[in-house]
Amino acid sequence: MKEKQEDTKEKPKKEEKKQKKIDEKDQKIQELTEYLQRLQAEFENYKKRVEKENNNFLRYANANLINELLPLLDSFELALKNKDNKEDFIKGVELIFAQLFSTLKKQGLRQIEAEGKQFDPYLHEVMMQEPSDKDGIILEELQKGYMLNDKVLRHSKVKIGKKIEKQEDKK
């Protein structure tokens, strides 16, 4: 009989231990679930913040360039006010061109050298060919090409020399 009493006493203890383990696991699951939900919320907020920052960057990315171009706008206005004096107007436009090119050069723009150089398909686009003793050499630049840092923005449009081999008359 003692054994039965001990068995009945041990059963509730085992049940309590099992229930306690289940409760601990449920609590751990609850903690992990809450942690995961916080992480997801933080990640969503991070994505929204990054998207907002990117949109602002794109909106104002050219602000420095525009700021550097404003003096050119002022110079154009001044030139247009003085358009009656042809010589001064032409001189003013030439100065504005130099000012514009200098501003763009500071931003990383540079001209692609072409005339007298060997044709390079990565930098030049052939528009015309002309018989010449200089095969593959650029004879004339039809339109200037430009690079921004190391990227070609516009290929130079060129006329190249094409060596023509003389054919002997067949008899």
Distance CA 60, CA 63 (A): 5
Residue 117 domain flag: yes
Q: Determine phi and psi for 123, rounding to 5 degrees.
A: -120, -25
pLDDT tens readout for residues 10-54: 677 778 888 888 888 999 999 999 999 999 999 999 999 999 999
Contact assessment for residue 138 and residue 124, using Cβ atoms and an 8 Å cutoff:
yes
CATH number for the domain that contains residue 139: 2.30.22.10
pLDDT tens readout for residues 45-86: 999 999 999 998 888 888 888 888 899 888 888 888 878 888
Q: Are strands 146-148 and 138-143 parallel, antiparallel or unpaired?
A: unpaired
> Any idea what DSSP says for residue 137?
B
If one counts the domains in the chain, the total is 1
Compute the mean pLDDT over every residue in the chain, rounded to the nearest whole number: 86
Q: Please name the residue that has the structure tokens 């001209």.
A: 111
Q: What percent of the chain has pLDDT over 70?
A: 90
* This model's pTM is above 0.85: no
Residue 82 domain flag: no
Residue 128 domain flag: yes
